[in-house]
Chain A
Amino acid sequence: MKGIRILALVLAAMMVIGLAPAALADDEPVKISVASYMFGPVDNEKDVITPLVEQMLLEKHGINVDIEVVYIEQANYADILNTRLNGGTAPDVFLAQSATMLNTYYDQGVIKTWSKEFFQENAPAVYEFITGGAAYGDLAGDVDAWWKAAMKGDEMIVLPSFKPDGSMPYKTLIYRGDWLDKLGVTEDQLPKTVDEFVALMGRFATEDPDNNGKDDTYGCSITAMKALFGAYGLGIGFSGSTSYWVNRDGVLVNSDVTPEAKEVIGILAKMYADKLIDPEFVAGKESVEGSYWAISHGMVTGLYGVSANASIDHYRLKEVLGDDGGRCAQEYWAVNGEGSTFVYGPWPAGPNGDYGWMVGTPVAVSESAVYNAAMSDEKLALIFKILDAFATDEELYMTAFAGIEGVHYEKNENGTIKRLMGNEDLNAVGVWGCRSLYGADRAFSKLGYDLAFYNDVTIANRLNWFKKDQYNSYIQDAVTVTLPSNDLFAELNTIRDEAWVAMIRGEKPLDEWDAYVQTWLDAGGQTLTDEANAWYAGN
């Protein structure tokens, strides 16, 4: 017994000596100022979390730091930070906020750069987590994209966030269940190609799916029309918004002026002529001014059978997601009756097998930490050690992320947490203050991801649903920054919308496509294309 005690003492002593590097633990604490994403300042009188985090870092990891949480109002973050960067009073760790800001900081030399090896050496657990494709290897296919976003040339400049929900499509094809039943179309038989889609639209328009004996139905309106562009690999913002850029053999082209877009307009023109499309698709009943934007009134009220105006969260189905409801689903049930059904549809694929809707990427820098160029390499190494400590020490992470159990949060049965205070109050006691020290928005660890994505079955179900073939999507914007002449898009989008509407309605022949492209290029499209390619070349 005594022997065991002595052994334990020796082991404990060895751990203290081995784990706590003397240079870090004995000296004065290293001051680290960090400006995280916060809703309000840390109230020094109430702050219990920051001292606790410092204590844990010291006692468990031998890292002796004095963390100063700096509050910078989110609404004016860039302005305030720029002044402080210029005045030399910016915090050690701050947020990049957007890819554009990140590039600006990098170009101005105000953020620190470091090598991949340096990162691996000082934050080995995080390095492994990233290269392993995040939790459960879910993002294994996006690891290269993460490194691409993290680096400039041979150097790393940022730790991008890595979110499994980042590439979920913003919109989902929602079909009217009663119409499909009437036509005898089961979920498995929903259109998976453009031809099948057009055929079903034809049946919606001609086979009286609403059973009222009148010829008063159409296939779809503008939002579902836009899904056809995805079948040609394009992300189109037709009707107001800006389209994505596509990479054609190393040259960036805007989707609006691609030959594929012309092909889709041809298909849509034929559908219009055959009366498959709501004739008022331009100012029609997809979104009605004054009511909730995602509600497709035409689809809900039975004018057409499918729309892509809402996300899956607006139409939640219990059998798919684990819970039901959503703002649009409520409206749908209110109009069509309690038992009325709707069905999620796959994206129709085009001749090359492409399909989908515009999506983001799992890799984002908008909430990512960057490091002040004024700091020493030693300090950055220390910050990476802290990053690693958060990724490996669950107690430490839970304290910084959620606070003290029973006081600031409770554990739910499903493994998620319920916060017991409002965000501003949580910030006041120090919760989230260290956010930028443990990762972009959550720790780079299984626990961080479990809490955010996998423990909540409804979120996990959603992620799984979007892994299904043709329900997923991969149409991403080839340009990830805001181009200098971005404002030109306002006019270009008008030019595009007018030309396309005229061609679909048959008011202008499709042969005028080249003239439209020329007008588009002359009105600023060429400038933007040059800027996009210049940006691409410099990356």
Chain B
Amino acid sequence: MVKTRFSLGKAIIYVLLTMLSATIVIAFWHLLNLSFSPSHIATKGGLLLYPKEATLDNYTRVIGNRYIWLGYKNTLIRTVVGTVLQLFFTAMGAYVLSKRFFPHRTFWTLFIVFTMFFSGGLIPTYLVVKKLGLLDTYASMILPGFISAYNLVIMRNYFQSLPEEIEESCLIDGAGRFRIFLQIILPLSKPILATVALWLVVGHWNSWFDVLIYIADDTKFTLQIVLRRIIITGSKEILDTSAAASAAEMESVVSSEGLKAACIYVTTLPILCAYPFVQKFFVKGIMIGSLKG
């Protein structure tokens, strides 16, 4: 029988970690209760540890909002298409750069790393997007940040850690470079692909600024823009009296706290659910990618 020895250090770590996770869990729990609360309870404020009165009104309103569904559609399109394409092309770039025999490899690596520190700025990027005719298209949400130098370097490092011998034996068996990349390298690189894919998915899911800048057509607004609007509108109307200067104008209804909470749940739940499944790859991928550079 293995004796588990009481260790003070361990106890402290457990207590601290429990407290840390409590700060996150309580907030989510409060928000969940808030989303099921009618407005007269939600606006009272204070911590809600259980729903005092339950209602589905907030969710009915959120689900009844056309923009939420349009947002879902647009977010899914940009997330799926963007992630798949970006992952594939980043992997191709990283693979090439991971090969020692690639001519001027250091120069090309530095050339790409350079973009991590210097960017063209908002307006030049906008002008490029506009000149390419991409305004108001899904491409404007995907192409401007298509290859992330950071992801590329992490992937390159991972590919470098794979033994050369596997590829050599494949070459002897008659496989071409592209086949090796597709059938050997990619399947061997699941941890790093999963890690980068997770970053890309979360990035696409959460991003809003590019939509704000490039998209004017409201049917192409993504979920985060809709969520932002509901939350900002809700608080702005209360704070900014100049927006509705007279008492008569201020009588109009504002989005309630409960509605905001329901909205947050509807928009973040999918990504929260996906996270644990990818997490197991996460630690492995990032460790190998970063340490064996």
From A10-18, A209-217, A297-305, A422-430, the one touching the partner chain is A422-430
Find out whether the CB atom of A163 lies under 8 angstroms from the CB atom of B233. no
Contact of B244 among A42, A76, A423, A455 (CB under 8 A): A423
Find out whether the CB atom of A89 lies under 8 angstroms from the CB atom of B135. yes
A383 CB to nearest B CB, Å = 20
From B15-23, B43-51, B224-232, B273-281, the one touching the partner chain is B224-232
Find out whether the CB atom of A422 lies under 8 angstroms from the CB atom of B254. yes
Question: A422 vs B255: C-alpha distance in the bound complex, in angstroms?
Answer: 8
Question: A45 vs B67: C-alpha distance in the bound complex, in angstroms?
Answer: 11
Question: A84 vs B127: C-alpha distance in the bound complex, in angstroms?
Answer: 9
Which residues of B lie under 8 Å from residue A88 when comparing CB positions? 130
Question: A70 vs B228: C-alpha distance in the bound complex, in angstroms?
Answer: 18
Task: For chain A, residues 401 to 421, give those with C-beta under 8 angstroms from any C-beta of chain B.
Answer: 412, 416-419, 421
Find out whether the CB atom of B252 lies under 8 angstroms from the CB atom of A451. no
A100 at the interface (CB under 8 A from B): no
Interface size class for chain A? 35 or more
Give B135's nearest chain A residue, CB to CB. Answer: A89
Task: For chain B, residues 240 to 291, give those with C-beta under 8 angstroms from any C-beta of chain A.
Answer: 242-249, 251-255
Interface size class for chain B? 35 or more
B42 CB to nearest A CB, Å = 15
A266 at the interface (CB under 8 A from B): no
B126 at the interface (CB under 8 A from A): yes
Which residues of A lie under 8 Å from residue B253 when comparing CB positions? 421-423
Contact of B229 among A83, A416, A424 (CB under 8 A): A424
Find out whether the CB atom of B66 lies under 8 angstroms from the CB atom of A422. no
Find out whether the CB atom of A426 lies under 8 angstroms from the CB atom of B66. no
B216 at the interface (CB under 8 A from A): yes
Which residues of A lie under 8 Å from residue B84 when comparing CB positions? none
Which residues of B lie under 8 Å from residue A362 when comparing CB positions? none
Which residues of A lie under 8 Å from residue B130 when comparing CB positions? 87-89
B213 at the interface (CB under 8 A from A): yes
Find out whether the CB atom of B122 lies under 8 angstroms from the CB atom of A79. yes
A472 CB to nearest B CB, Å = 19
Which residues of A lie under 8 Å from residue B237 when comparing CB positions? 39, 423
Question: A456 vs B251: C-alpha distance in the bound complex, in angstroms?
Answer: 13
Question: A455 vs B245: C-alpha distance in the bound complex, in angstroms?
Answer: 14
B contacts with A: majority SS: helix
Find out whether the CB atom of A43 lies under 8 angstroms from the CB atom of B123. no
A290 CB to nearest B CB, Å = 13
Give A419's nearest chain B residue, CB to CB. Answer: B252
Give B230's nearest chain A residue, CB to CB. Answer: A424
Find out whether the CB atom of A76 lies under 8 angstroms from the CB atom of B212. yes
Give B131's nearest chain A residue, CB to CB. Answer: A87
Find out whether the CB atom of A70 lies under 8 angstroms from the CB atom of B246. no
Find out whether the CB atom of B216 lies under 8 angstroms from the CB atom of A441. no
Quick one: CB contact mask for A436-479 with B, threshold 8 Å, 1 for yes? 00000110000000011101101100000000000000000000
A134 CB to nearest B CB, Å = 14
B40 at the interface (CB under 8 A from A): no
Find out whether the CB atom of B247 lies under 8 angstroms from the CB atom of A423. no
Find out whether the CB atom of B252 lies under 8 angstroms from the CB atom of A452. no
B218 at the interface (CB under 8 A from A): yes
Question: A511 vs B218: C-alpha distance in the bound complex, in angstroms?
Answer: 64
Contact of B248 among A42, A71, A452 (CB under 8 A): A452
Question: A44 vs B70: C-alpha distance in the bound complex, in angstroms?
Answer: 13
Give B226's nearest chain A residue, CB to CB. Answer: A40
Which residues of B lie under 8 Å from residue A94 when comparing CB positions? none
Find out whether the CB atom of A424 lies under 8 angstroms from the CB atom of B245. no
A6 at the interface (CB under 8 A from B): no
B152 CB to nearest A CB, Å = 27
Give B225's nearest chain A residue, CB to CB. Answer: A73
Question: A340 vs B221: C-alpha distance in the bound complex, in angstroms?
Answer: 54
Find out whether the CB atom of A424 lies under 8 angstroms from the CB atom of B127. no
Contact of B218 among A71, A84, A86, A453 (CB under 8 A): A71
B236 at the interface (CB under 8 A from A): yes
Which residues of B lie under 8 Å from residue A388 when comparing CB positions? none
Which residues of A lie under 8 Å from residue B219 when comparing CB positions? 44
Which residues of B lie under 8 Å from residue A453 when comparing CB positions? 246
Contact of B66 among A45, A79, A442 (CB under 8 A): A45
A19 at the interface (CB under 8 A from B): no
Question: A131 vs B209: C-alpha distance in the bound complex, in angstroms?
Answer: 43
Find out whether the CB atom of A459 lies under 8 angstroms from the CB atom of B247. yes
Question: A163 vs B245: C-alpha distance in the bound complex, in angstroms?
Answer: 10
Question: A422 vs B247: C-alpha distance in the bound complex, in angstroms?
Answer: 15
**Contact A82/B123 with A73-B212, A424-B229 known, Cβ cut-off 8 Å:** yes
Contact of A451 among B216, B230, B244, B248 (CB under 8 A): B248
Find out whether the CB atom of A43 lies under 8 angstroms from the CB atom of B236. no
Find out whether the CB atom of B127 lies under 8 angstroms from the CB atom of A39. no
Find out whether the CB atom of B247 lies under 8 angstroms from the CB atom of A86. no
Find out whether the CB atom of B123 lies under 8 angstroms from the CB atom of A83. yes
Find out whether the CB atom of B213 lies under 8 angstroms from the CB atom of A80. yes
Find out whether the CB atom of A412 lies under 8 angstroms from the CB atom of B255. no
Question: A441 vs B219: C-alpha distance in the bound complex, in angstroms?
Answer: 27
Contact of B252 among A73, A83, A366, A421 (CB under 8 A): A421
Question: A419 vs B254: C-alpha distance in the bound complex, in angstroms?
Answer: 12
**Contact A87/B126 with A452-B245, A452-B249 known, Cβ cut-off 8 Å:** yes
A75 at the interface (CB under 8 A from B): yes
Question: A37 vs B233: C-alpha distance in the bound complex, in angstroms?
Answer: 12
A41 at the interface (CB under 8 A from B): yes
Find out whether the CB atom of A456 lies under 8 angstroms from the CB atom of B246. yes
A54 at the interface (CB under 8 A from B): no
Find out whether the CB atom of A41 lies under 8 angstroms from the CB atom of B254. no
B197 CB to nearest A CB, Å = 29
Which residues of A lie under 8 Å from residue B254 when comparing CB positions? 422-423
Question: A327 vs B280: C-alpha distance in the bound complex, in angstroms?
Answer: 53
Quick one: CB contact mask for B197-230 with A, threshold 8 Å, 1 for yes? 0000000000001001100101101000100111
Find out whether the CB atom of A70 lies under 8 angstroms from the CB atom of B216. yes
Quick one: CB contact mask for A350-391 with B, threshold 8 Å, 1 for yes? 000000000000000011000000000000000000000000
Find out whether the CB atom of A424 lies under 8 angstroms from the CB atom of B233. yes
B49 CB to nearest A CB, Å = 21
A497 at the interface (CB under 8 A from B): no
Find out whether the CB atom of B213 lies under 8 angstroms from the CB atom of A424. no
Question: A37 vs B130: C-alpha distance in the bound complex, in angstroms?
Answer: 25
A485 at the interface (CB under 8 A from B): no
The 8 closest A-B pairs by CB, nearest first: A416-B248, A41-B218, A422-B253, A419-B252, A452-B246, A83-B126, A39-B233, A87-B130
* B binding-site residues for A, Cβ under 8 Å: 66-67, 122-123, 126-127, 130, 135, 209, 212-213, 216, 218-219, 221, 225, 228-230, 232-233, 236-237, 242-249, 251-255
* A binding-site residues for B, Cβ under 8 Å: 37, 39-45, 70-71, 73-76, 79-80, 82-84, 86-89, 163, 165, 366-367, 412, 416-419, 421-424, 426, 441-442, 451-453, 455-456, 458-459
CB<8 Å pairs between A and B, sample of 19: A39-B233, A44-B219, A71-B216, A83-B126, A86-B127, A87-B123, A89-B135, A163-B245, A366-B242, A367-B242, A416-B246, A416-B247, A421-B253, A423-B233, A424-B229, A426-B252, A452-B248, A455-B248, A459-B246
Known: A39-B233, A45-B66, A73-B232. 8 other contacts (CB 8 A): A39-B229, A41-B218, A41-B221, A71-B216, A86-B127, A422-B252, A423-B253, A456-B248
